[in-house]
Structure formats: C-alpha cells, structure tokens
C-alpha cells in the first residue's frame, strides 16, 4: 500500500472523488492517475507531512489506514498458523507408516486446474476492487461473483480430490504424512470456504447499502484476505504438490 496518499487525497485516503466521480482537482488527477506513487519524485530525507498516515507528527491515522493496517497484521498472524502446518508437513512427509508416499497421492492435472481457478479468482477480485474504486456497483458485483464462482470451483475440485483419495482408503487416519497433508491442504480449503461466506455477505451488503466507507474498508480487507490465500496456495502447490510429485 502507499503511504496513505498525498495531501490531495480525501478523508479515506482514496482519491478525493466528487459526485461525478472526478477527483477534486486536475492536479490531483494527474498525480493519482498518471503516477500514483510518484516514485523518484518524492523528496528524500524528512518526509513531507502526510495528514492521516499516522506518522507521529500529525496525529492518529485515518480510518482506512487503520483498518488496512490492522488487517495486514491479522493476515500475518494467519500466515503464521499456516507456517506451523507447513512445518508439520515438512517434518512428517516421510512418515508414511507403510502407506502411500506423497508422490502416489498427488494428481498434478487436477491441481493445475485448481491453481488456475484460484489465481484467476485473485485477478477478478482485484478487478472488482478497481470497480469499487470507480464506485461502479454493477462491475463490482459482477467481478465479485466471478471471484466467488472460481473460488467455488477450486473448492469443489479439492473436495473431489479428497473424496477420491478417501475412496482408496487414503485418509488422514492412515499415517502421519497423510495427516499433515490433509491438515495443510484442508486448512487452506477451510479458509477458502470462509472467504466465500464472507464474499457472499459482502455482495449482499454492497447491493443493499452501497459504497459506504465502512463497506469499502471491508471490501479492501476481503481483497487482502483473498490474495493472501492465493499466496499460501502457491506455497502449497510448490511444496506439497510439485516437490511431492518428484519425491
């Protein structure tokens, strides 16, 4: 995230958007649209004073910065939960107790589709937020819907995988390796499911309440959450499936 925006930005730290959807001044428009971060154009040394960024000199940050910041910290803690499950998998991946090894249970074809669905959903999620930024309800909803459908597709593929494995008697109860495999992949799946529930709630809110500041903040948090799940999935994809298929 940027440092909360330049002084030309509005109360929420987003571009000050007037009724017609236009930024308050042409100057601000240039700065935000053409070079939003003004990389290389910002003075070095003591920063210019940015109201609402919470940098000490100017008093408490504005609500948007606070919400985003807090949610980032939550995400970090969630990633630590995942890291424990990753660690367990690393410790137990050889503990097959005479059962199947990792290479025997991964099906790269299905996982490729799962990965594609999830990555694409992150893209549509980002597009939905771009639409939110432009205060366009229709496109926000459509892209959120697309995100949800892709997420659901991912989840169904994963369930299919679990069901197939279970059909062959490959369950977490079989061995330490399978425990940590189902635990890690399942934890991610539970997160995706919770994300879908959240997403449905947000779509209802956007429809019924419109773009209120707090709803925009929640959409922003949802975006962060969804992208974080993507990042975790990349880890799972690589460490469990790709590296596993070779082992």
Partner 1 sequence: MLGKLGLSAIPFSEPIPLITSIIVILVALGVLGLITAKGWWPYLWREWITSVDHKRIGIMYCLLGVVMLIRGFADAIMMRTHQAMAIDAPGYLPPEHYNQIFTAHGTIMILFGAMPLVLGFMNFLVPLQLGVRDVAFPTFNSVGFWLTASGALLVNISLFVGEFARTGWLPYPPLSETTYTPGVGVDYYLWAVQISGVGTLITGINIVTTVLKMRCRGMSYLRMPVFCWTSLASCLLIVAAFPVLTATLAMLTLDRYLDFHYFTHTAGGNPMMFVNLVWAWGHPEVYILVLPAFGIFSEIFSTFSGKPLFGYRSMVAATLFICVVSLMVWLHHFFTMGAGAAVNTFFGISSSIIAVGTGVKVYNWIFTMYGGRVRFEVPMLWSMGFIFTFVIGGLTGVLLAVPPADFLVHNSMFLVAHFHNVIVGGVVFAIFAGMEFWFPKAFGFRLHEGWGKAAFWCAFIGFWVTFTPFYVLGLLGMTRRLQHINFPEWSPWLYLSVVGIAILILGVIAQVMQLVVSIRDRERLRDVTGDLWDGRSLEWATPSPPPFFNFAVLPDVEGEEAYWGIKLRAVETQQLAPEPDYRPIEMPVNSPVGICTAFFAAVFGFAMVWYIWWLAIVALVAAFAGFVVFAWRDVHEFEVPVREVARVDRARRAAREALLERMSRHGALP
Closer to partner 1 by CB, 138 or 197: give it: 197
- Interface of this chain with partner 1, residues 195 to 224, rule: CB under 8 A: 197, 201, 205, 209, 214, 218
Closer to partner 1 by CB, 31 or 218: give it: 218
> Would you call 9 helix, strand, or coil by DSSP?
strand
Task: Tell the smallest beta-carbon distance from residue 106 to partner 1 (Å).
Answer: 18
Closer to partner 1 by CB, 115 or 223: give it: 223
Helices 176-209 & 63-92, crossing angle to 10 degrees? Answer: 160
For the chain, the farthest-separated pair of C-alpha atoms sits apart, in whole angstroms, at 70
When asked if residue 65 is in the footprint of partner 1 (CB under 8 A), the reply is: yes
When asked if residue 9 is in the footprint of partner 1 (CB under 8 A), the reply is: no
Q: Which of 22, 91, 108, 247 binds partner 1 (CB under 8 A)?
A: 91
Helices (H), the chain: 26-29, 63-92, 102-105, 108-133, 137-167, 176-209, 213-236, 243-246
Give the Cβ contact number of residue 34 at 10 Å: 8
Q: Which of 66, 157, 242, 243 binds partner 1 (CB under 8 A)?
A: 66
Report, in angstroms and rounded to the nearest whole number, the Rg of the chain calculated over CA atoms. Answer: 22
When asked if residue 162 is in the footprint of partner 1 (CB under 8 A), the reply is: no
Task: Tell the smallest beta-carbon distance from residue 172 to partner 1 (Å).
Answer: 5
State how far the Cα of 178 lies from the Cα of 6, in Å rounded to an integer. Answer: 51
Task: Tell the smallest beta-carbon distance from residue 133 to partner 1 (Å).
Answer: 21
Residue 192: which residues within 8 A CB-CB, separation 6 or more?
118, 151, 154, 155, 158, 229
When asked if residue 61 is in the footprint of partner 1 (CB under 8 A), the reply is: yes
Residues that bind partner 1 (CB under 8 A): 54, 56-61, 65-66, 69-70, 73-74, 76-78, 80-81, 84-85, 87-88, 91-92, 95-97, 172-180, 182-183, 197, 201, 205, 209, 214, 218
């Amino acid at each position: 995230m940027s440092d909360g925006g330049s002084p030309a930005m509005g109360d929420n730290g987003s571009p000050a958007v007037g009724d017609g959807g236009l930024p308050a001044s042409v100057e601000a428009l240039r700065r935000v649209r053409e070079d939003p971060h003004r990389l290389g154009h910002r003075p070095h040394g003591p920063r210019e004073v940015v109201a609402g960024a919470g940098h000490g000199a100017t008093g408490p940050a504005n609500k948007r910065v606070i919400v985003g910041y807090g949610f980032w910290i939550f995400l970090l803690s969630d990633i630590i939960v995942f890291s424990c499950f990753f660690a367990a998998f690393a410790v137990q991946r050889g503990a097959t107790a005479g059962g199947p090894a990792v290479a025997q249970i991964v099906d790269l074809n299905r996982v490729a589709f799962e990965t594609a669905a999830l990555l694409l959903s992150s893209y549509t999620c980002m597009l939905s937020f771009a639409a939110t930024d432009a205060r366009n309800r229709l496109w926000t909803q459509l892209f959120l819907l697309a995100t949800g459908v892709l997420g659901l597709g991912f989840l169904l593929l994963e369930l299919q995988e679990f069901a197939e494995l279970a059909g062959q008697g490959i369950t977490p109860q079989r061995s330490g390796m399978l425990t940590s495999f189902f635990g890690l992949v399942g934890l991610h799946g539970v997160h995706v499911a919770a994300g879908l529930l959240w997403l449905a709630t947000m779509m209802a809110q956007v429809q019924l309440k419109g773009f209120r500041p707090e709803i925009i903040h929640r959409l922003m948090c949802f975006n962060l959450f969804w992208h974080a799940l993507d990042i975790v999935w990349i880890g799972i994809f690589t460490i469990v499936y790709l590296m596993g298929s070779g082992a």
